[in-house]
Amino acid sequence: MKAIWSMAGVLLVASLALGQEEVRSTPAQVRIDQARSAIEKHPEHPQAYNDLALALARRARETGDPALYEQAEAALRKSFRLQPGNLEGLKVQSWLLLGKHEFAKARELARELNHRSPDDVLVYGYLADANAELGNYEEAEAAAQWMLDLRPGNIPGLTRAAYLREIYGDVEGALELMRNAYDQTDPSELEDRAWLLTQLGHLHLVIGEQREAESALTEALRLFPGYHYALGTLGTLRMEQHRWKEAVELLEQRYAAAPHPENLYPLAQALERAGRPREARKAFRDFERQALRESQGADNANRELIFYYIDHANKPAQALRLAEREAARRQDVHTLDAYAWALHANGRDREARAQLERVQKVGSRDPLFQSHARAIPAGKKVSG
């Protein structure tokens, strides 16, 4: 499963429980309406189109709908026609590239923007995001530190610093920073607060604090009913508690709200563990088909597909080919862990161990990484 802490998500559902009137009242939808009203009044102003693109990107996080990025890009094209290369438009473009997982392009653009505007806090945020997703953690850390140096205590800087602390294994420090960010967030920003609570729930899960995780996730769903990120993390908690039926229900809701293959894979796993093999087999087949369809794109479910091929489909060669391709594109700890698992499944434990050691050197306490490290001890060989 993709990490809940995706750095692109730090910046950026159609709720199953909300009516249409309530959905339209979300912070992102309000901003969309405001930007469209501004465009109607002043269609010659490029900033109005920038504002619309940014609001659409925020709405993409609320709904999990990637089509909103296409609408945002269309708004940006209008902005650039009115004022080619305008700085605010390029900043939004960098954000969109992150949201679409085009991390190398996002880093290149953020570097250009940093030269143009060296004191812009959010540009450093884009640099932190892109570098973290590519596995360039020292560069990401430097950018996040600049954010906090330029504007001490700012919320985007706190969330990035929290993410990096988790990556480096300081989960308690990450929790402290994330709580600070939550405490400073405007109460009217319901989705932002729900997102922050979901991160808190995730962090508590990493260190086995299930009661605290449940409290944060329940509050997130109270603030933003049907929120797909919170549903997914609460589903993970129910899996850890072996409450399979509830896990299935939560993950079904999450997949209905955000029907992406990376959200279908954990649902298939939950169905299998809930003793519903026929439904699980169908879900796994559907997952494989959907994941393969987007496998060549930047925003993909390739890590989940690697684990599916190894842990469920007995296709280790396909898993390794996919892992090699992903590892050539990015070197973050999640990708390196999947690569190590694929090498292990193909009997190449020495190489697998080398990749795992790169993951362990960073310091993450992710339970999946630790499980894989226990399964591939130094010198152990895979039979067959």
Q: Give me the mean pLDDT over the 61-89 stretch.
A: 93
315 and 290 together in one domain: no
> Which of 261, 282, 299 finishes a domain?
299
What would the pLDDT profile of 245-275 be if each residue is shown by its tens digit? 999 999 999 999 999 999 999 999 999 999 9
- How many CB atoms are located within 10 Å of the residue 273 CB? 14
290 and 315 together in one domain: no
345 and 286 together in one domain: no
Give the integer Cα–Cα distance in Å for 119 and 142: 14
270 and 306 together in one domain: no
276 and 324 together in one domain: no
What would the pLDDT profile of 268-313 be if each residue is shown by its tens digit? 999 999 999 999 999 999 999 999 999 999 999 999 999 999 999 9
Specify the pLDDT at position 375.
94
Give the integer Cα–Cα distance in Å for 187 and 300: 33
313 and 373 together in one domain: yes
Q: What is the dihedral of CA 340, 341, 346, 347, to 10 degrees?
A: 70
Distances (CA, A) of 373 to 134, 326, 370: 22, 20, 5
Q: What is the dihedral of CA 95, 235, 25, 88, to 10 degrees?
A: -10
Specify the pLDDT at position 166.
98
pLDDT of 9 above 90: no
What would the pLDDT profile of 174-206 be if each residue is shown by its tens digit? 999 999 999 999 999 999 999 999 999 999 999
Specify the pLDDT at position 216.
98
Q: Give me the mean pLDDT over the 60-89 stretch.
A: 93
Specify the pLDDT at position 256.
96
290 and 305 together in one domain: no
Specify the pLDDT at position 20.
33
Specify the pLDDT at position 379.
53
> How many domains are there within the chain?
2
310 and 357 together in one domain: yes
pLDDT of 351 above 80: yes
Specify the pLDDT at position 175.
98
Instruction: Evaluate whether residue 179 is within a structural domain.
Output: no
Q: What is the dihedral of CA 349, 355, 358, 360, to 10 degrees?
A: -50
Specify the pLDDT at position 225.
95
Q: How confident is the model at residue 25 (pLDDT cuts 50, 70, 90)?
A: low
Asked if 53 contacts 75 with a C-beta cutoff of 8 angstroms, the reply is yes
Q: If we measure between CA atoms, which residue out of 36, 61, 54 comes closest to residue 122?
A: 54
pLDDT of 106 above 70: yes
339 and 368 together in one domain: yes
> Which of 299, 322, 344 finishes a domain?
299
- How many CB atoms are located within 10 Å of the residue 24 CB? 12
Asked if 267 contacts 248 with a C-beta cutoff of 8 angstroms, the reply is yes
Instruction: Evaluate whether residue 43 is within a structural domain.
Output: no
For 306, the domain range is 301-384
289 and 337 together in one domain: no
Specify the pLDDT at position 381.
42
> Which of 299, 333, 350 finishes a domain?
299
Look up the CATH number of the domain holding residue 231.
1.25.40.10
Instruction: Evaluate whether residue 293 is within a structural domain.
Output: yes
353 and 377 together in one domain: yes
* Of the listed ranges 68-82, 134-148, 285-299, 368-382, the one predicted with least confidence: 368-382
Specify the pLDDT at position 24.
44
- What number of residues does the chain have? 384
Q: Crossing angle of helices 87-99/46-63, nearest 10°?
A: 20
